[in-house]
Structure 1
């Protein structure tokens, strides 16, 4: 029996404009009734994830957990102090930032407090992330990570509207800085995400499952993009939404009929949770 659902947020749980479909709210209510925890598992910071559910009854998340920063942090819902946290070491963060600075490439720097610091952002990127909690646009005159005000950096993103260029940037960064302790993944067809080595959504799910004494085989992992691949592979049932990118489809146990706009969580509950509880 599946005892936990972990889901990506953007383009999986949320639709365009970071909207939470009504079908997913109803699914959250049903999961609460059945006693099956729903765990957001996102590349976003914890405060930004929580803000996405601002219009949802907070009772649905009581006693719950959040996996943020692609698995680098795990929080109890409602507690900003992480149970688990991992950041980039400062020399690594400086090197990754310097790579973007040399190219004046749009770069995002994420801090433990939930700030998403963005430099060299084109107008389309500003529009795309409008309304995301924690976003701050940094003056292009900065030449170091001083704009983080001394906070550590959890991850660095390189952004380009041309996904082929994003992949080239990732390859160039890996070749130019081969000794950095990082792993690179991709999301939203426009980001290369530079993470502390060995950290991903799969490790986040495994750590949380162990904390809750749940066999990871009894979990469901939902996603749409390459940074969800480890989550999908680690979970007992790996689920891709209908809008999942081609590079993760073969790793999914199931591809849903429902996309992120229509409430994919509702399909997961109907197909994989409800039948088990009827049979129990």
Structure 2
């Protein structure tokens, strides 16, 4: 358990920064493709920065990296409601960047769970996040009434992979939080590649940064981003799609 890497250069000085979703993207593809991507990152830490942009929480990320996945230097977690730095073995929220998120959420967890209790097609997830509530969703049963209830509370809903229903603070998602972090760190937007595969990555791929929808991505996501000139549609699945985009967009030397 060596913890996060400590390159001699700040992330803002790197030639390239990968801002990537986890499930289906950074963790997607064959074992060999993942090994190739991870080894390339570890061998080039002085010129490559790594940010995880995920629906996963900090505890999951720490356990994942202790298991052999490259440590990121920063995390946009919980579908954009966590913005954190990685310090050794810890994922530490950056309070100054999360203040707006906390204010927009206004401690709404209990209110959301109460309001949506008993709504058809929604089963609340046991994990309690700080600034969101997540449900497993049956798409054949969920109704417009659930969406209307979220709207009436002044919050946002997000459906992804046709099986998850998230309730989020108004205006908060992966894309806005990633852009807030990049600006805070002084990273050039043109050096960043945002990578994703489901609709909860849509705001990240739409936000204007160079982006890739990896092979195997959710059809609804591909349909939404295909008209966008700054988004590359990869053929390679998961990790292979990330390297394909880096190569095709000439963002960094690749294996």
Kept in 1, the 8 Å contact 2:150–2:167? The answer is: no
* Aligned mate of 1:41, from 50, 53, 57: 53
Paired with 1:42 and 1:100, the residues of 2 have a C-alpha distance of 24
Kept in 1, the 8 Å contact 2:157–2:166? The answer is: yes
Per-residue Cα deviation, 1:76-120 (whole angstroms, up to 9, x for no partner): 112433113234323x322321244224741126xxxxxx24xxx
Give 1:31 deviation, angstroms: 4.3
**Residue ranges of structure 2 left out of the alignment (5+ in a row):** 1-13
Per-residue Cα deviation, 1:177-232 (whole angstroms, up to 9, x for no partner): 43313111122331011111111111111111111212324321111111101100
* Aligned mate of 1:210, from 141, 158, 183: 183
Paired with 1:29 and 1:163, the residues of 2 have a C-alpha distance of 40
* Aligned mate of 2:131, from 148, 154, 167: 154
Pair 1:257-2:241 in alignment: no
Kept in 1, the 8 Å contact 2:38–2:69? The answer is: no
Aligned length: 226
Per-residue Cα deviation, 1:134-189 (whole angstroms, up to 9, x for no partner): xxxxxxxxxxxxxxxxxx742111212x4344xx34x3223234331311112233
Paired with 2:69 and 2:221, the residues of 1 have a C-alpha distance of 33
Correspondence for 1:69: 78
Pair 1:56-2:88 in alignment: no
Q: 1:172 to 1:265 in 2, by over 3 A?
A: same
TM-score normalised by structure 1 residue count: 0.70
Q: 1:177 to 1:70 in 2, by over 3 A?
A: closer
List aligned pairs for 1:19-168, cutoff 5 A. 21-33=34-46, 35-56=47-68, 61=72, 64-78=73-87, 79-83=90-94, 84-85=97-98, 86-87=101-102, 88-90=105-107, 92-103=108-119, 105-108=122-125, 116-117=127-128, 153-160=130-137, 162-165=138-141, 168=142
Kept in 2, the 8 Å contact 1:24–1:264? The answer is: no
Q: 1:177 to 1:251 in 2, by over 3 A?
A: closer
Paired with 2:221 and 2:114, the residues of 1 have a C-alpha distance of 30
Equivalent position SS for 1:95 = helix
**Residue ranges of structure 1 left out of the alignment (5+ in a row):** 110-115, 118-151
Kept in 2, the 8 Å contact 1:22–1:263? The answer is: no
Correspondence for 1:244: 217
Paired with 2:240 and 2:74, the residues of 1 have a C-alpha distance of 21
Paired with 2:66 and 2:78, the residues of 1 have a C-alpha distance of 19
Per-residue Cα deviation, 1:38-95 (whole angstroms, up to 9, x for no partner): 111001112212322223376x64xx111111222211112433113234323x3223
- Calculate the aligned-residue CA RMSD, in Å: 3.0
Kept in 1, the 8 Å contact 2:62–2:91? The answer is: no
